[in-house]
Amino acid sequence: AQSVTQLGSHVSVSEGALVLLRCNYSSSVPPYLFWYVQYPNQGLQLLLKYTSAATLVKGINGFEAEFKKSETSFHLTKPSAHMSDAAEYFCAVSGNAGKSTFGDGTTLTVKP
Amino acid sequence: NAGVTQTPKFRVLKTGQSMTLLCAQDMNHEYMYWYRQDPGMGLRLIHYSVGEGTTAKGEVPDGYNVSRLKKQNFLLGLESAAPSQTSVYFCASSQPGLANNEQFFGPGTRLTVL
């Protein structure tokens, strides 16, 4: 069985501050891990994915995530938040038949 | 390429009515999925398909049926809608062995059941 836990349903940062969104996973097999972003009234868009080639993964819009097997974590970071980063973010783990299990999501608010 | 498309975008039903949501993908993906999204609950898998003519139950299948008669289409049916099925429905597709099973999502269908 696989599962994802996103710590913190709401995160608020000031513009220019560090963004840190936390994700812990459990998986019985080497996981495929993803971060998706959802803007209001839109579908999910892939931010980045863990391919096992490198533990530090760079994605779009300046986001990156680090895979830490010992901590079963895949936290999402961005050095400097922008107003346009305000959205909901989902961590997901993929396993059998490509089925993905999603976390409950973290809503990021960026204050001016 | 249009990617994954969903019709309709919005729908309002009365309790007991039926409807079908259509998902289409033009990427020749083998796998397709239907999710529902409710506030604070992330995405929950309703049904999925690993190929034309095959379907399987996901996490929350009750009250829904699906069909995959053509590889590019995946239909989600509600036979007798209930207010608890008010939600946003997302379709997704993926190709096994490609891009680490990355899923590609449609824009969603917002369904309200009165």
Distance (Å, rounded) from C-alpha A70 to C-alpha B50?
32
Which of these, B31, B44, B42, lies nearest to B74 by C-alpha position? Answer: B31
Which of these, A20, A25, A9, A19, lies nearest to A74 by C-alpha position? Answer: A25
What would the pLDDT profile of B89-113 be if each residue is shown by its tens digit? 999 999 887 666 788 999 999 999 9
Tell if the CB–CB gap between A104 and B42 is shorter than 8 Å: yes
Cis peptide before B8 (omega within 30 of 0): yes
What would the pLDDT profile of B46-84 be if each residue is shown by its tens digit? 999 999 999 999 999 999 999 999 999 999 999 999 999
Tell if the CB–CB gap between A51 and B96 is shorter than 8 Å: no
Q: How many helices (H) and strands (E) does chain A have?
A: 0, 11
Tell if the CB–CB gap between B103 and A45 is shorter than 8 Å: no
pLDDT at residue B1, as a whole number: 73
Nearest CA in chain B to A43: B107
* 3-state SS, residue B84: helix
Q: Dmax of chain B from CA atoms? A: 42
A46 touches chain B (CB under 8 A): yes
Residues near B96 by Cβ (< 8 Å), separated by ≥ 6?
A97, A98, B30, B31, B50
